[in-house]
């Protein structure tokens, strides 16, 4: 069941069409990755969902109810990409402030602040000003401030940008605990490996349109195909072309594709040996989300 739905969303800023008929849905309890090059329309979409931007056209739905820009987003939490905290306030004071602004108070607020501090691993540092925190600590607190009011749907705009692998792990651990409680998450990211590993489904948006949506295997199957990419470095360039291998910019490096590694790879290696060459290095890669992404959005830089 979809807890959040976007249908034919349109938004233009002057001549720039940020959203052009974008549609997607977030299902209950899932972690949905929203991917796209810079300027594709991800943040515009998130801001529209958060009620911070008025769409030119299209419709939004939350828990099956139409959502107008002015509607209060009950049950929706937003975690912005920026560290939207008060740097001179302590972690506890920030949590209390944002909890209070979201309608919490009294014992309920105190309990949620204690939970958030434990959840983020900041209990010991709760009385320190945020400006003294590391990037990872600030990120975790930034997320906590957006979920204090127990939203059932959370929008996370690049929640792991600029943090070390340890903090990233911790953040996904925190998100995992939320999901275990039945919370649905929509996450925008440029970390394709993360999206591939963590998200149940991904939506790829480009030029304001959703150009692909589904699980990673579904997207792979629908775009680049299931073949593994093979890269070979030979001791010398072969005198004649080897069947199934294509040259690259490097004279001794060749690429090919195999559908069945057990059957097709030995045949390829036999061809290389037949050409009188020896294999110095071999890499077999299954198609990744990165391949799908580049296939769909191209290699051209987006400025």
Partner 1 sequence: MIGTLLRIHWLNLSRDRAGQMLSFVVPVAFFTIFGLVFGSQNRGGTQRVHVAVVDESHTAVSDRLVKALQREKGLVVLTRARAAAGDTTRVPIDRRRAEELVRGGTVPVAIVLPAGIDTSLARSGPGGGGGPAIELLSDPSDPVAPQVVGGLLQKLVMTATPDLFMTRGLGQFERYTGPLTPRQRQGIDRWLPLLKARAERDTGAGTGTTSDNGSAGLSGIVQVEVKPVLGRKEDTSFISYYAAGIVVMFLLFTASAVAGTLLDEVDSGTLDRVLSSRVGMTGLLAGKWTYLTLLGVAQVVVMFVYAMLVFHLDLLHHLPGFAVMTILMAGTTSAFGLFLASLCRSRAQLGGVSLLLILAMSAVGGSMFPRFLMTPTMQKLGFLTFNGWALDGYIKVFWRNAPLPDLLPHVAVLLGFMIAFLALARLFARRWEQA
Contact residues for partner 1 (CB under 8 A)? 13, 47, 50-54, 69, 72-73, 78, 80-86, 98, 101-103, 145-146
**Residue (49 or 219) nearer to partner 1, CB:** 49
- Please tell me the distance from the alpha carbon of residue 214 to that of residue 134, in angstroms, as a whole number: 35
Q: Least distance (Å) from partner 1 to the CB of residue 139? A: 13
In the bound complex, what is the minimum distance in angstroms from residue 303's beta carbon to partner 1?
Answer: 19
> Closer CB to partner 1, residue 32 or residue 145?
145
Name the DSSP class of 52.
S
CB 39 within 8 A of CB 206: no
User: Which lies closer to partner 1 via its Cβ, residue 52 or residue 255?
Assistant: 52
For 250, half-sphere exposure in the C-beta direction (CA atoms, 13 angstrom radius) is 10
**Does residue 22 contact residue 205 with C-beta atoms inside 8 Å?**
yes
Min dist. Cβ of residue 143 to partner 1 (A): 12
Residue closest to 228 by CA, chosen among 236, 219, 240, 220: 220
Q: How far is the CB of 64 from partner 1 (least distance, A)?
A: 21
The nearer residue to partner 1, 69 or 237, going by C-beta atoms, is 69
Q: Hunting for tokens 């905290």 — which residue is that? A: 85
CB 192, min distance to partner 1, A: 24
With respect to partner 1, which residue has the nearer C-beta, 41 or 80? Answer: 80
**Residue with Cβ nearer partner 1 (138 or 201):** 138
Tokens representing 23 are 């549609």
How many other CB atoms are found less than 10 A from the CB of residue 109? 18
Distance CA 303, CA 289 (A): 22
Q: Look at the chain and count its residues.
A: 303
Q: Cβ of residue 232: shortest distance to partner 1, in angstroms?
A: 48
């Amino acid at each position: 069941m979809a807890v959040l739905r976007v249908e034919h969303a349109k938004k233009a800023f002057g001549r720039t069409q940020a959203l052009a008929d974008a549609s997607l849905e977030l299902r209950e309890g899932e972690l949905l990755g929203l991917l796209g090059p810079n300027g594709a329309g991800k943040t515009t979409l998130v801001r529209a969902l958060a009620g911070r931007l008025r769409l030119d056209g299209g419709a939004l739905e939350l828990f099956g109810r139409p959502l107008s820009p002015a509607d209060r987003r009950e049950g929706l939490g937003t975690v912005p990409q920026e560290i939207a905290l008060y740097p001179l306030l302590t972690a506890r004071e920030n949590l209390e402030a944002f909890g209070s602004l979201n309608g919490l108070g009294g014992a309920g607020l105190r309990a949620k602040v204690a939970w958030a501090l434990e959840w983020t691993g900041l209990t010991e540092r709760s009385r320190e000003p945020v400006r003294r925190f590391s990037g990872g600590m600030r990120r975790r607190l930034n997320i906590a401030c957006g979920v204090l009011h127990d939203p059932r749907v959370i929008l996370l705009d690049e929640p792991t940008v600029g943090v070390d692998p340890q903090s990233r792990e911790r953040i996904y651990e925190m998100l995992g605990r939320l999901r275990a409680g039945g919370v649905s998450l929509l996450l925008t990211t440029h970390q394709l490996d993360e999206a591939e590993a963590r998200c149940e489904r991904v939506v790829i948006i480009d030029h304001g349109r959703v150009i692909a949506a589904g699980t990673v295997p579904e997207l792979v199957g629908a775009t680049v195909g299931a073949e593994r990419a093979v890269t070979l470095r030979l001791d010398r360039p072969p005198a004649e072309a080897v069947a199934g291998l294509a040259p690259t910019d490097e004279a001794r490096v060749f690429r090919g594709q195999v559908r069945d590694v057990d059957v097709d790879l030995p045949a390829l290696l036999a061809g290389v040996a037949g050409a009188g060459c020896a294999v110095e290095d071999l890499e077999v890669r299954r198609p990744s989300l990165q391949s799908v992404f580049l296939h769909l959005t191209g290699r051209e830089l987006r400025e």
